[in-house]
Structure 1
């Protein structure tokens, strides 16, 4: 799943970046190189301006592939916006008159313009600019939805994983394997507190932080209050007995407290 997530994210980022460049390409196509030379690169040398203009993609050459790739990605990530995205490109079958509001990118690609009986321009290619801007905006909204969905998926997957690990801890506890039961519960707490730190953009400099380090970071970041900090630290002390203490064995009551405390932390620290 992680590979697919990264691939979708990279493809979406690339399409958004290309869309922003194509916006400039559309303006260049409509206004011409002279306009850009005088109004955008006025203080640049001719060679600098020419080199910059050369890097701008030609809208009519590159739009179609961008549109097809964007449509394919939207089918995967934001299917409820496909019709909106397509409608900004395709000529509506029910259209009788061409106005600024129903001019689409297909019209632009065919250099379509509408004039009055007196030869005055009624609708020109500039009517396609807001349509294309809206397409790019839909892609950007897909990115927000995508990131939100991935966050939700990861939370659900992690919650299921934690539940299964707590069940394993309880099974070991019932069979008298107290240290092993406590060790598993401690790992669950560490992973959860690390995720909470990530969610709140709290940076941890230590390579492999334990519960105490993560707990203190959350307190310093005002994510948890002092009573919760103390409770977490108490649970961390029991976990240390299970993991590290050679002179003291954890009692059944302590491990029970550790498992119950793990469940509480998962519900209350977020």
Structure 2
């Protein structure tokens, strides 16, 4: 199961728990069962919200956490933490509770579940952004390593830069849903379909073909040694492609 599927499964499980939590929040005199179930649920849910929608984390927590600045408890600031601590509603001069704690807590739970439900559509894009940032960071480090490697071995430096380019084009093809016949496509195998699908135009295609030629010189043509200038041009060219082609 992929990471995306695991997160979706966990999110669906949390959403499905709504009915059970609401059912348990019916007896103000027995909040232990609700508290036990809810505390475990909240610990799981807060991680999902933090990962997928940090901008809604404060809102999500406000339905549970007591506001430290609260001076007087009323219907607007009575929260789930109050209920779990068995703190009841304020009473009037006749000893009658001013609000229905059970109903109010059920509403708070529903509000939290609605936030979780709204996040399902964001899973793919959020994970893609995270993966993309990590991938870009890795590419930068590999190209930096290739630049340092030129002094010791231009051939090895060029081969490393070629791997970065090949892997980036593979990821770009995946992002655009381009199916490839070969299980291990080369730069040229990737370059043609990307141009055909209008991911980029002829100038970029020619540039990538040129870079592929230098990469092949580094990786395959043992009779000819690549020059440092050629390898530096390859590294700079790959850096330009990974920054502009997605």
Q: TM-score range by the shorter chain?
A: 0.5 to 0.7
Gaps of 5+ in 1: 1-5, 32-57
1:19 and 2:14 equivalent?
yes
Counterpart of 1:63 (choices 9, 23, 38) is 38
Q: Provide the residue aligned with 2:182 in structure 1.
A: 206
The TM-score normalised by the length of structure 1 is: 0.62
Instruction: Note if contact 1:224-1:269 (Cα within 8 Å) is conserved in structure 2.
Output: yes
- May I ask how many residue pairs the two structures share in their alignment? 229
Q: Provide the residue aligned with 2:79 in structure 1.
A: 104
Report the secondary structure of 2:151's partner residue. helix
1:120 & 1:260 partners in 2: Cα distance?
A: 72
Instruction: Note if contact 1:113-1:125 (Cα within 8 Å) is conserved in structure 2.
Output: no
Q: Provide the residue aligned with 1:266 in structure 2.
A: 242
Q: Provide the residue aligned with 1:225 in structure 2.
A: 201
Flag the 1:139–1:171 CA change in 2: closer, same or farther, 3 A: farther
- How big is the shift at 1:111? 9.9
Instruction: Note if contact 1:183-1:239 (Cα within 8 Å) is conserved in structure 2.
Output: yes
1:243 & 1:189 partners in 2: Cα distance?
A: 14
1:203 & 1:126 partners in 2: Cα distance?
A: 53
Instruction: Note if contact 1:22-1:63 (Cα within 8 Å) is conserved in structure 2.
Output: no
Q: Provide the residue aligned with 1:53 in structure 2.
A: none
1:208-251 per-position Cα deviation (integer Å, ceiling 9, x unaligned): 221112222322332211221122122212322332235x5255
1:147 & 1:208 partners in 2: Cα distance?
A: 25
Instruction: Note if contact 2:150-2:231 (Cα within 8 Å) is conserved in structure 1.
Output: no
1:158 and 2:138 equivalent?
yes
Gaps of 5+ in 2: 27-32
1:140 & 1:69 partners in 2: Cα distance?
A: 16
- How big is the shift at 1:63? 1.4
Instruction: Note if contact 1:89-1:104 (Cα within 8 Å) is conserved in structure 2.
Output: yes
1:220 & 1:111 partners in 2: Cα distance?
A: 67
- How big is the shift at 1:200? 3.8
Instruction: Note if contact 1:170-1:259 (Cα within 8 Å) is conserved in structure 2.
Output: no
Instruction: Note if contact 1:71-1:82 (Cα within 8 Å) is conserved in structure 2.
Output: yes
Aligned positions of 1:1-270 closer than 5 A: 15-29=10-24, 61-71=36-46, 83-92=58-67, 93-98=70-75, 101-106=76-81, 123=100, 125-136=102-113, 137=115, 147=127, 150-151=130-131, 153-172=133-152, 177-204=153-180, 206-245=182-221, 249-250=224-225, 252=227, 254-270=230-246
Q: CA RMSD in A?
A: 4.3
